[in-house]
Structure formats: structure tokens, C-alpha cells
Structure 1
């Protein structure tokens, strides 16, 4: 998709090189560190329009020059299909190259991909997790513990799992705490100890781990290791459901749909103030359009909201370069409030808002719920719209 004519036109309009990125200018090779740093900017949308396709090109150039972090990033891109077509075999090739340079995180990342493969790949993943664990990588310890607990890629060994979970659990790792709690509940490799399990589930639940919340709810419902309480069982079940719910965290029920720009003063809502605001909006002033949209979305007092009008006003302000309006328009699309729910358009406007200096805390949450094709399409659309916008 990133090679589409539309995307190529957007890149050319932006003045970006569509060809190889290995040369800054005639006869001058770019150092891999510089290419990786530029790739990170495009990956994060830091000072530029976020563009995973452009980031992938730069990561590849730096990776081919031997940059370990770029090799790891390129492998992850190929595994997920962000910025370029997914290719598991090539993903493993690049993750292998990065892991061979010894960084425990890179070894762990390779193991996570191999663990999703056949039994031979799973056995190799266990070996790699052990390598990273020996270097002190806590998540590798936990993942290896899970493999021993389940007998995946290794012979099932509860005592080994117990040992692997111990250090990370004591250090506050929520996954380790939850899994260790399960060993105590099931008496796997250790004597059954419900109170100890409850303590571990609670520690993990208080860090926001939904499976631990569910497990704690079960303990309360049955009175295992703690005084039975239907109310607390329901509370923790509800907490788990809320974390897992099919909504972006920043847009969960109860959270405001539209956010106010704290750099502005709230508009006066008397007749004179509203008249002045209306004139400004009709004249195309982006600040007035944003304020009018905010009033339509989140009116003070008892005035009924008008989400469709809010969407029209935010769109008009966004098309004139208003970052806060872009963010709110994105939130409307993500929630499906006043407009049809559309994650592609939501992420498109989040991308544009980020390039306008308005970061969105929920962008990563939305990203996890989208397919790579949807993300790539959103960024392609953002690149085209960005060319039509007035300079900031």
C-alpha cells in the first residue's frame, strides 16, 4: 500500500526523496546512526508527520549498514506489517541479525516471534529467553516461566517456573505476580496457599493487569484465602471488564469526548459572546471554529449537545491547521459520536494532530486495535491532507 501512486505523490509533494536513502548528497554516505535517528522521528511523528512507510525505508538502510537497533525495528515492522508488507521469514532474518549483536532486549524480541511458531521454533525461543534471562531481562524470565508452566517448547516443570517467577514478582512485575499466584492456587510445584495467591493477585491487579483482576474476583466470589464478598468479587470483575472493554482507554465511558485547549479562554456564553463567536466561525477563524465546536460537543449548563455540528466545526478548524480541533475530530471518529465510527479516519486525524504539536495519549491504544493495512491507509491519507493545509 505504501507504494501506491497516491502515497508517492504525497511524498514528492512534501519534498521527500522517493529513491534510496543511503546518500545525503552526491558522494556523501549517511552514517547509520543518523538514518536510525531520522527513522525514529518518522516512527514517533516527532517534528514530522508520522509515517511508518518512510520509517521502514530508513530503518532498512540503517539495518543494512549493520545498526542493531534498526535491524530489530525492521524485523518488528516486517513481523507486524506496519509500513511495509508483512513477511515472517524476513522478520526473523533481521531479528536474528540484531540478536546476534547481544542486546538482551533484541534476544527477547526474537524469542517472542519464534514462540509463535512450530515446536522447533518454540524450543529455540525457550533457549533465547534463557539467554536473555541470564542477562537479567525480567520479561524474558517471566516468558520462560510461562513456557515451563505450560510445557511449551520445554518439558513442563513447575518448580522451574516457580523459580523464574520469584525474582520478577518480588520486583513488582505484574505478569510474574499473577502467574505465581496461579501456581499457589493450583499447588503446582508448591504447596497450595490461597492467602499467598490472593496477595499476589491483588498486587498485580492494582497495577492494572486484567487477568489478575479476574483471578482476584474469583477468590472473593469463593472465599478462597480471603473473606467471601460478592460485592468485591463484582467490583474486580467490573474492573477487569472495563480494562478489556472494546474502547480506547482515553475514550472509555465517562471520559469526555471533546477536550478543551487549556491555552484558550472558555468562550462567553451570553448572547453577545455567542454572537461574536458565531461571526468569527463564519469568517473561518480556526480558533472561533474550535471554540464553537467545543460548545456544540460539551455545552455548559443544560444545553443539549449537538455532536454533528461539533464534527462539522472541528473539521473546518482542523482543515485550517488547528491541532486541538484535529484531536477532537479524531476522538469523534474513534467514539462514533456525531460521525460514523471510523478508526482509519480517527488515526489519520491523530497523526495530523501529533504533527501539529498535539500529542494523543490514546494513539498507542488505538494502534493496537487496528490492522496494519488500516494504519498504513490512515498515514497515506494524512500525508495527502497535510499538503493541503496552511503553514502553521
Structure 2
């Protein structure tokens, strides 16, 4: 994925559809497409279809030499179009990257990294990600950090990897916080790891919710806190993920008070599940 950053401001997929439609009505196709990409990333098929329908007017701007449109169109073609569009995506990405556009450098880096539309060239990918990251592109920093983790950079540098991940987090890449947590937990820096897990968990990252729950359950980087543990184990349900429910049940049966369980449910926005845990704990207690 070229990982087109989301426009500023939050909202649901419907909100981004509306924002895009408003921008399109003004002829601002770059803003429209960026909004619809965000809606698509939130799971909206309608947004994805709108991205496709907006490609022709965006292409017209790109063909007039609009570098921003070239960079955006290259990412759209890479992420939304059939593989047959890769040569055209390469043309636009190359043109905008040569003009120094960070997003285009990142998209071109993804193409070289994955061998899509070009032969795989990790050195070229590293150079493009490095240039884009230096220009402030958060997703390029994240991609370059990934190359450090896999050992695909010319010089593997753990500290540089951490710096890149922090840059990515600052730029809004939630997954980078989760990766930071994993790297720090692996070297027993549990308190710092928990901070990054919480950063990602509060932004809806399911894996970090589970990791935060485990940290509070086991007292890693913090004092054991069954309320916070159950809170995060229940919160994962919002992501359609049931990985934490068994852990929540186990903790509820291990002596949590009804008040503690209800507090955890309130924090998670899952009061009905908290009542279920209380009922199971009562049955367990005999």
C-alpha cells in the first residue's frame, strides 16, 4: 500500500464521503480523492468506488503538470487499480518523485520494495524512503523503519529505527506506535512499551489493546491493574476481535469485585459485557 495519509480531522466513513463530495463539487479533486481514500480505509466500498470515478479528473490535472495530482494519482493506481495500471502509476510516481514530492517518493519506494511495476530494488527503495522521510513523510519513515527491522537496509540501526518509528507516530501512523511497543517490550523496556501500546490502543489498534490488557494483567511496566486489564480486553470487541474476552473472564473469576468489573465495562463502553462477567464470576464463586 502507498499509505495515503488521512486528511486532518476525524470522522466516520460517511463523513469522509460527504467531505469528498463537497470538495468535488468545487472541482477540488485532490481533496476529494484524499477524503474518499480515508473512507475506503475505514471499510467503505462506496468510498472506494468514488475514488475510481474521480480518477479521470485527477488524471487531467496530473497531465497538466500538477505534481500533487501526479503523486496522488500514482498512489491511487497502485492501491485501487488493476495490475495493468502499474506502468502508468510508475510514470506518474517517477515524474513527481523527480520533482521532490515526498508522497511520490514513498509510492515509488513501495513499488521498488515490492517489485510492483518494476524489478525489486531494495537499495532504490531505501533511498526513496529516506528522502521522503527527511522531507517529513510519516509513512515513508514507517516503511524505512520496517526495512531496518527486516534487515533490508544497507546498515541495520536499531536506534535509527526507533527514531523513524517515533517520527511516524508523530505524523499520525498508529501502527508505528504498536511496533514501537513490540520492539521496546522485546528488550524489557516495559514501561515505555506500555505507553506506546496505550497510544495505539486509544486510537483503535486491536493488537495494542490486547498488549495493554496483558501489561496491566501481568504488571509489566506498571502495577497490576485488573480494572484496566479488563477494560482493554473488552474494548477489543469494538474491533470485532474476541481475543480478550477469555482473559477478561479469567480475571473476573479471580476475585475482582463487582464494582471493579463494572468500572472496567464503563471504561470500555461495554456495560452489558461487564454484567455478563459479573454473572459468570458469581456462578464461579458458587
Partner of 2:57: none
Aligned residue runs from structure 1 range 136-151, under 5 A: 137-151=173-187
The structural deviation recorded for 1:200 is 0.6
1:81 aligns with one of 115, 124, 141: 115
Aligned residue runs from structure 1 range 243-282, under 5 A: none
Partner of 1:260: none
Bigger Cα Rg: 1
Task: Flag as ranges the 4+ runs of structure 1 deviating above 4 A.
Answer: 134-137
Aligned residue runs from structure 1 range 234-383, under 5 A: none
The structural deviation recorded for 1:144 is 1.4
| TM-score normalised according to structure 2 size | 0.57
Partner of 2:221: 189
Partner of 2:243: 214
| TM-score normalised according to structure 1 size | 0.43
Higher relative contact order (CA 8 A, sep 6+): 1
- Counterparts of 2:185 and 2:216, CA distance in 1: 12
Aligned residue runs from structure 1 range 21-100, under 5 A: 30-45=65-80, 51-100=85-134
Partner of 2:161: 125
Asked whether the equivalents of residues 236 and 244 of structure 2 are also in contact (C-alpha less than 8 Å), the reply is no
Distance 1:49 1:72, change over 3 A: closer
The structural deviation recorded for 1:208 is 2.9
Partner of 2:25: none
Unaligned runs of 5+ in 1: 1-22, 229-392
- Counterparts of 1:70 and 1:194, CA distance in 2: 46
- Counterparts of 2:69 and 2:202, CA distance in 1: 40
Instruction: Confirm whether residue 162 of structure 1 aligns to residue 194 of structure 2.
Output: yes
Aligned length: 192
Distance 1:82 1:149, change over 3 A: same
The structural deviation recorded for 1:130 is 2.0
User: As a proportion of its length, which structure holds more helix?
Assistant: 2
The structural deviation recorded for 1:78 is 1.5
CA RMSD of aligned residues (A): 3.1
Partner of 2:138: 104
SS in 2 for 1:90: helix
The structural deviation recorded for 1:129 is 1.2
